[in-house]
């Protein structure tokens, strides 16, 4: 495949336009690519061109581990060239539009329209309008049915793809679950398709025998008169439900030996070392804890090998041991010790630690000099409510953990809570305020010689967004007014000057809830919102509630139907089209246990038969632990 002359000319033109506009925008360096370890290939050997797209800014997208893995994985194949593209910030978009510059890939400055595939990562619902906006900027028709044979195939994957329905009108293929195996399989099918010829539809048809691939065009949805789903018909032999894919053996799964090193400072600007996937704690509001089941660990040796490769190829001086709950990694202490021993100048980050003294000891090891702060997540203010959400920590645990931290000189503590949990009362809100006071008391009871001279406590409350595939998937979300009342109540209750109270915008959480549990009919809302100019909705300074309200009105969609309605457990849910491996019976029993505050044990301690063992025949959860 050599490049025809007119395409070369177009590329030169793009470069010229960029020269003109880049000096006028913020952070121009994020639009020029050319970073260390960015992959450049000779087009002559390329059969498939793939644009890995992240529907947010470069700084956000480049912090995301998933696209780093898939970018490297695809580029391992000689005949595939995977490039990157991010959402241009408002100022850049305006310049691009007035110069009629189409959205282009960072590596080769090629218009997206020339790609075979554009693959979006779905990390949060409020990035959906950015997907539409990016397609629009790329001059690609937004709706699948309006795209031509010559247009790229649009794919999507990531956590939000577990309920793909709100995006069904725009995405040709969803990759459900972990993509390390399924994406190369899809590429292989495409190679054959390119060789043999045929329409796009023929290609989609060829995918129906792959697991973990969902082609929305092959399904029809029927509705009852009350708006709930009556049923589905799958056409073209497409599977129903679509089973997610997961990597059974993390020890031998592909992991890159290099990451692209951004020039601009990104949110997570360091080496990401994945230590395990999944989480067996079973917090009932947490979607990741269900969709990423089962828990699969890497050995410390494997993590150390990844560390060596990536540190060498990137020149980073900081690593993160990443997972949903790094404190639960069987090898966490050993990994920290070995990293400290091997790389004396490399900083270590441990995100998402548990509330226990082990965590404090670990942090002590890695933050000997500068103690940056400790973040803990009790999630709810009273024991009763923590039992409802199956958060297995007690007030005593929390107080002893913060006391240990104060004794070791930390003065800055952050506590995360969720409001709007089922059965929540004023007492539970009081619990948050009281817990905060008790943490401050614990500071003052700590030996003056040991403790930091200053104490600062940040209390942060998120608004519950009931998510698909969680035991809370049937409940109605609190209204925005209720959330605001609860936040105002807490504002009044938290008066201590040593405590700062932060809260999330309830309106944003409301829209999140609409799209998280939405169905196909929301496609027209997205289309309308995009037409009205909605974009970067997760950015408070851009988010425009009025436009969203207009979009909803014009598309005659009642958002409360999705956000506030309590569903019957018998109801067909839009995401029933996907099978994540955890059974509905398990989720129902968890929902019931939640209302009576009954505990479900941690997977490592006792298996609660969530369904994974039936889903993946022969798979044994417990064999994935204790690899040290």
Partner 1 sequence: MSNTIEFKFSRGESLRFLSHLDQQRVFQRALRRAEMPVANTQGFNPRPILTFALAMPVGMTSLEEYGRVGLTADVSPEVFLNKMNKSLPSGLRIESAKKLEVEGKVPSLTASITDCLYRVQGALAIHSDETQLADIVNNILERESLIIPKRNKRGKMIEKEVRPFIDQIEILEVKDGRYLLDMHLAYISQESIKPELVLETLNQTWGSAIFDLDPGLKIQRKKMNLKKS
Of the two residues 101 and 229, which places its CB atom closer to partner 1 in the complex? Answer: 101
d(CA 160, CA 183) in angstroms, rounded, equals: 17
Specify the residue, 109 or 352, whose C-beta has the smaller distance to partner 1: 109
User: Is residue 607 within the footprint of ligand SF4 (CB under 6 A)?
Assistant: yes
Both tokens assigned to 195: 């060789």
Q: How far is the CB of 579 from ligand SF4 (least distance, A)?
A: 14
What is the three-state SS of 66-105?
HHHHHHHHHHCCCCEEEEEEECCCHHHHHHHHHCCCCCEC
416 makes contact, choosing from partner 1, ligand SF4, none, with CB < 5 to 8 Å by partner type, with none
Instruction: Provide the minimum distance between the beta carbon of 275 and ligand SF4 in the complex, in angstroms, as a whole number.
Output: 17
Q: Report 354-413 residues binding partner 1 (CB under 8 A).
A: 369-370
Which residue, 491 or 620, has its beta carbon nearer to ligand SF4? 620
Choose the one of partner 1, ligand SF4, none that binds residue 280, judging by a C-beta under 5 to 8 angstroms depending on kind: ligand SF4
Tell me the two tokens of residue 126.
Answer: 């409020």
User: Residue 32 binds which one of partner 1, ligand SF4, none, with CB within 5 to 8 A depending on kind?
Assistant: partner 1
CB of residue 92 vs partner 1: minimum separation in angstroms? 12
Name which of partner 1, ligand SF4, none residue 294 binds, using a CB cut-off of 5 to 8 Å depending on partner kind. ligand SF4
The CB-of-310 to partner 1 minimum distance in angstroms stands at 11
Taking alpha carbons only, the member of 430, 533, 114 closest to residue 103 is 114
Dmax over CA atoms of the chain, in Å, equals: 77
The window from 164-172, 327-335, 563-571, 604-612 that contacts ligand SF4 (CB under 6 A) reads: 604-612
Looking only at residues 263 through 302 of this chain, which bind partner 1 when binding is defined by CB under 8 A? Answer: 263-265
Residues 87-106, interacting with ligand SF4 (CB under 6 A): none
Q: Is 342 in the site for partner 1 (CB under 8 A)?
A: no
Would you give the distance in Å from CA 511 to the centre of its chain?
17
Closest CA to 74 of 55, 44, 46: 46
Please list the residues that pair with 436 across neighbouring strands.
none
CB-neighbour burial class of residue 9 (10 A; exposed 0-12, middle 13-18, buried 19+): exposed
**How far is the C-alpha of 248 from the C-alpha of 297, rounded, in Å?**
10
Bond into 615 cis (ω within 30): no
Q: How far is the CB of 199 from partner 1 (least distance, A)?
A: 40
Among 62, 215, 279, 610, binds ligand SF4 (CB under 6 A): 610
Residue 312 host element (H or E): helix 300-314
Which of 294, 331, 381, 392 contacts ligand SF4 by CB under 6 A?
Answer: 294
Burial class (CB in 10 A: 0-12, 13-18, 19+), 562: buried
Site string for partner 1, 572-591 (x = CB under 8 A): --------------------
- 289 sits near ligand SF4 (criterion: CB under 6 A): no
Min dist. Cβ of residue 134 to partner 1 (A): 22
Which stretch, 43-51, 334-342, 475-483, 608-616, contacts ligand SF4 (CB under 6 A)?
608-616
Q: How many residues bind partner 1 (CB under 8 A)?
A: 24
Q: At 374, is the secondary structure helix, strand, or coil?
A: strand
Of the chain, the end-to-end C-alpha distance in Å amounts to 49
Determine, following the binding rule CB under 6 A, whether residue 603 of this chain makes contact with ligand SF4: yes
| Residues numbered 304-333 forming contacts with partner 1, rule: CB under 8 A | 311-317
613 binds ligand SF4 (CB under 6 A): yes
Binding partner of residue 617 among partner 1, ligand SF4, none, CB cut-off 5 to 8 Å per kind:
none
C-alpha to C-alpha distances, 226 to 223, 230, 548, 561, 571, nearest whole angstrom: 8, 10, 24, 10, 12
Strands, DSSP E only, in 556-628? 578-579
Measuring CA to CA, which residue among 289, 296, 410, 433 is closest to residue 352?
289
Is residue 247 within 8 Å of residue 295, measured between CB atoms?
no
CB of 59 to partner 1, least distance (A): 12
Which pairing describes strands 117-121 and 48-54: parallel, antiparallel, or unpaired? parallel
Task: Decide which of ligand SF4, partner 1, none touches 375; Cβ closer than 5 to 8 Å per partner kind.
Answer: none
- Least separation in angstroms between residue 244's CB and ligand SF4 is 13
Question: From the list partner 1, ligand SF4, none, which binds 369 (C-beta under 5 to 8 Å, kind-based)?
Answer: partner 1
- Residue 530 has phi, psi (to 5 degrees) of -65, -45
CA 65 to chain centre: 10
Over the window 163 to 182, marking each residue x when it contacts ligand SF4 by CB under 6 A and - when it does not, the resulting string is: --------------------
The item of partner 1, ligand SF4, none sharing an interface with residue 261, based on CB under 5 to 8 Å by kind, is partner 1
User: Residue 608 binds what, of ligand SF4, partner 1, none (CB under 5 to 8 Å, by partner type)?
Assistant: ligand SF4
Q: Which residue has the tokens 């290609």?
A: 203
263 binds, among partner 1, ligand SF4, none (CB under 5 to 8 A by kind): partner 1
Backbone torsion region of residue 423, taken as left when φ is above 0, otherwise alpha when ψ lies between -120 and 50, otherwise beta: left
| Nearest approach, Cβ of residue 36 and partner 1 (Å) | 5
Task: Pull the structure tokens for residue 281.
Answer: 């704690």
φ, ψ at 608 (rounded to 5°):
-105, 15
535 binds, among ligand SF4, partner 1, none (CB under 5 to 8 A by kind): none
Stretch that binds partner 1, among 6-14, 18-26, 68-76, 377-385 (CB under 8 A): 18-26
Q: Cβ of residue 250: shortest distance to ligand SF4, in angstroms?
A: 14
User: Mask of contacts with partner 1, 21-60, x by CB under 8 A?
Assistant: -xxx---xx--x-xxx------------------------
Q: Binding pattern to ligand SF4, positions 251-280, x when CB under 6 A? A: -----------------------------x
Q: What is the DSSP string of 392-445?
A: ---HHHHHHHHHHHHHTT--EEEEEEEES-TT--HHHHHHHHHHHHHHHHHHHH
Residue pair 366/350 in contact (Cβ under 8 Å)? The answer is yes
Q: CA-CA distances (angstroms) from residue 618 to 5, 530, 612, 614? A: 55, 46, 10, 8
- Give the one entry of ligand SF4, partner 1, none that residue 36 binds, where binding means its C-beta sits below a cut-off of 5 to 8 angstroms depending on kind: partner 1
Q: Which residues bind to partner 1, rule: CB under 8 A? A: 20, 22-24, 28-29, 32, 34-36, 261, 263-265, 311-317, 345, 369-370
Q: Which residues bind to ligand SF4, rule: CB under 6 A? A: 280, 293-294, 603, 607-610, 612-613, 621
């Amino acid at each position: 495949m050599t490049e025809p002359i007119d395409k070369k000319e177009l590329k030169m033109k793009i470069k010229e336009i960029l020269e003109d506009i880049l000096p006028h925008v913020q952070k121009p360096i994020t639009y020029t690519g050319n970073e260390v370890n960015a992959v450049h290939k000779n087009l002559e050997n390329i059969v498939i061109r793939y644009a890995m797209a992240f529907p947010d800014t470069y700084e956000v997208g480049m912090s995301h581990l998933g696209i780093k893995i898939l970018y490297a994985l695809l580029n391992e194949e000689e005949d595939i060239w995977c490039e990157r593209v991010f959402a241009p910030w408002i100022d850049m978009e305006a310049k691009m539009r007035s110069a009629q510059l189409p959205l282009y890939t960072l590596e080769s400055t090629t218009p997206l329209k020339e790609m075979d595939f554009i693959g979006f990562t779905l990390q949060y619902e409020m990035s959906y309008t950015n997907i539409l906006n990016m397609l629009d900027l790329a001059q690609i028709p937004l709706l699948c049915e309006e795209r031509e044979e010559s247009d790229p195939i649009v794919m999507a994957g990531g956590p939000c793809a577990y309920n793909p329905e709100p995006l069904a009108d725009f995405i040709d293929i969803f990759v459900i679950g972990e993509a390390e195996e399924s994406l190369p399989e899809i590429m292989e099918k495409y190679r054959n398709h390119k060789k043999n010829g045929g329409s796009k539809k023929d290609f989609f048809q060829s995918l129906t025998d792959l697991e973990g691939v969902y082609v929305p065009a092959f399904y029809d949805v029927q509705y009852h008169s009350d708006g709930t789903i009556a049923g589905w018909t799958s056409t073209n032999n497409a599977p129903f439900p679509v089973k997610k894919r997961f990597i059974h053996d993390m020890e031998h799964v592909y992991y890159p030996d290099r990451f692209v090193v951004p020039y601009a400072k990104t949110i997570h600007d360091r080496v990401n070392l994945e230590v395990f996937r999944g989480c067996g704690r079973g917090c009932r509001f947490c979607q990741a804890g269900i969709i990423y089941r089962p828990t699969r660990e890497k050995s410390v040796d494997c993590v150390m090998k990844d560390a060596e490769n990536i540190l060498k190829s990137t020149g980073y001086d900081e690593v993160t041991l990443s997972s949903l709950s790094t404190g639960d990694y069987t090898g966490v202490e050993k990994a920290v010790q070995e990293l400290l021993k091997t790389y004396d100048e490399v900083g270590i980050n441990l995100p998402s630690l548990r509330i226990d003294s082990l965590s404090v000891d670990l942090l002590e090891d890695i933050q000997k000099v500068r103690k940056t702060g400790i973040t803990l997540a009790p999630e709810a203010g009273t024991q009763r409510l923590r039992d409802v959400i199956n958060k297995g920590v007690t007030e005593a645990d929390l107080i002893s953990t913060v006391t240990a931290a104060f004794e070791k000189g930390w003065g800055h503590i952050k506590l995360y809570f969720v409001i709007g949990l089922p059965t929540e009362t004023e007492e539970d809100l009081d619990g948050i305020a009281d817990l905060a006071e008790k943490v401050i008391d614990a500071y003052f009871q700590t030996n003056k010689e040991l403790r930091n001279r200053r104490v600062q406590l940040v209390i942060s409350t998120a608004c519950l967004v009931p998510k698909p595939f969680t035991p809370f998937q049937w409940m109605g979300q609190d209204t925005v007014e209720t959330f605001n009342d609860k936040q105002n109540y807490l504002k009044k209750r938290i008066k201590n000057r040593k405590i700062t109270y932060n809260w999330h915008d309830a309106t944003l959480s409301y829209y999140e809830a609409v799209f998280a549990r939405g169905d196909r009919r929301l496609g027209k809302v997205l289309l309308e919102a995009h037409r009205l100019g909605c974009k970067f909705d997760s950015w408070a300074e851009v988010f425009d509630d009025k436009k969203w309200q207009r979009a909803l009105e014009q598309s005659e969609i009642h958002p409360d139907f999705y956000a506030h309605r309590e569903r019957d457990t018998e109801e067909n849910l839009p995401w029933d089209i996907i099978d994540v491996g955890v059974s509905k019976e398990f989720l129902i029993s968890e929902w019931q246990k939640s209302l009576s505050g009954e505990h479900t044990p941690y997977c490592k301690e006792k298996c609660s038969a969530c369904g994974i063992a039936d889903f993946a025949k022969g798979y044994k959860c417990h064999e994935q632990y204790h690899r040290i």
